[in-house]
Every structure is written in C-alpha cells, then in structure tokens.
Amino acid sequence: MPKTPMEIRVEEHAKTQRNKMRSVKIKDATHRNLWRALVYPLRRERARVQTSVQYYAANPDADQYQRETNAAYLALLVKMEDKLNAWRTLYADKTPKQVALEKGMDTHGAHWSDWVPANIRDHFLMAYQYIDATRKRGKARTPFEKEPAPKLPPKRPRRVSKAPIRPPTPIEQLRDRMKALDDEALRTTDPHRKEEIRMAIIAMRTEQDELRKERARRRASAYYLAMKEKHANIRRQVREKLNVLHSATLNQPPLGESK
C-alpha cells in the first residue's frame, strides 16, 4: 500500500531533524577536540614544571632564584589552564581560533602560550635566560616551548577488492537520482522547480518502496524453497535409515532358533 502524502511529509521532517542533530553533534565534537588539543600541551608542561618544583623543594641548598622562578611559572601554568577550561565552557559553540580572533590575537591562538600576555612571556623568558647564563652545568628550561607535532604512523594502503564491479540495482539507481534531486533543490531558488523536485522525489520514493517489497517477496520465496528442499532431504535421509534398520531386523533369526 503506497504511503499517504502526510506520512511522506512526516518522514521528510523526521529525516531533516535527524540530519540537523547529526550536524550539531559533529560540530560539538570538533570543537571539543580543538579545545582539548589546545590544553593538552599545557598540561604536559605543567607536569614537567611540577616535577622541577618538587625537586627544588626537596633540596634546600638549590638555587633560590631558580626555585622561585619555577614556582611562579607553575602558578602561571595553573592559572592559564583554569582560564582556558573556563573559556572552553563559555565559548563551547566556537573554536579556539574564533575566540582568539575576537580577542585580537595575531597568532590565532594556535598554541597555549599565545594566550599569555606578551609582557609576561618576556618576563619569564628573561628570567630563564639569566638562569641559563649563571648555572654551572646543564641547560635551563625554555618556557613556552612549542613542541613539534608527533609523527603519525604511515597509513596502510587501502585494500582493493578483486571482486568484479556489479552494476547498480534499480533501488540504488533511484537512490542516486533522489540524492541528485535533493542537491538540486538546495541550489535552486525557483519555487516551481522546488515543487517539481519534491513531487518527483515522492514518486521515486513510492517506486523505491515497491521495489523493496518485491525484493523482500523474492527473498522470502527463495528462502521458502530452500527450506522446503532442506526438509525434503532430511525426510529422505530418515526414510533411508529406517529402511536399513528394517532390513537388518528381517535378516535376524527368530529367538530360540538353533544355529
């Protein structure tokens, strides 16, 4: 039984709503991943500085200036992490680049250190340069260092199927034609053409439903014939086994008969 126009409109509305929800979920996941990628290097830097602070706290004979500089740098990192997490919640509908542009950053906020004011960055850079120049051995930390992106493993070559390419079925052909009409409906601005496309899609969808029903009937018929043949084979095998048992029973001598 073909669908009524009301049922078709309800299905189209439900499909549109599902597509909108899917787009929103994809957008939200993309924004979360961008903010997470911005904060993750900051957390790594904070963990390294935290280790240095704990080391200098356990060694009272260490350089006092370096101890105070590390503590101040750690406090800055903690403050920046809290601020970025707050902005991530406040601007959940925007990417870090969009927020950085609104705040007038020249570097588009690609790295967490870009969100630190320039005068504070210069102050810590000069402090660590002084530590590097005055320490007896080793090299001082480089604050706000931008680590290179990790190397990704090479992609595996895509497996090419050796099966012959089959031609599209009538249902797939109708699906492709409806998709092309959907794309045309999004591009066109003529209301008459939009109505023609809508009516054509309705007719194609009705035809597609009939083809699917016919395919289901063919599959059910093939399954019924296969099951019928299977049960016939089972009955034939049972009859053969019963005949063998019956023949063996007839060939046995009667009870009490001497050999």
CA distance 35 to 233: 65
pTM above 0.85, yes or no: no
* Per-residue pLDDT reduced to its tens digit, 180-236: 888 888 788 888 888 898 899 899 989 999 999 999 999 999 999 999 999 999 999
* Structural element, H or E, at residue 22: helix 5-58
Q: What are the residues whose beta carbons fall under 8 Å from the beta carbon of 193, sequence distance 6 or more?
A: 184
The stretch 107-133 carries a mean pLDDT of 88
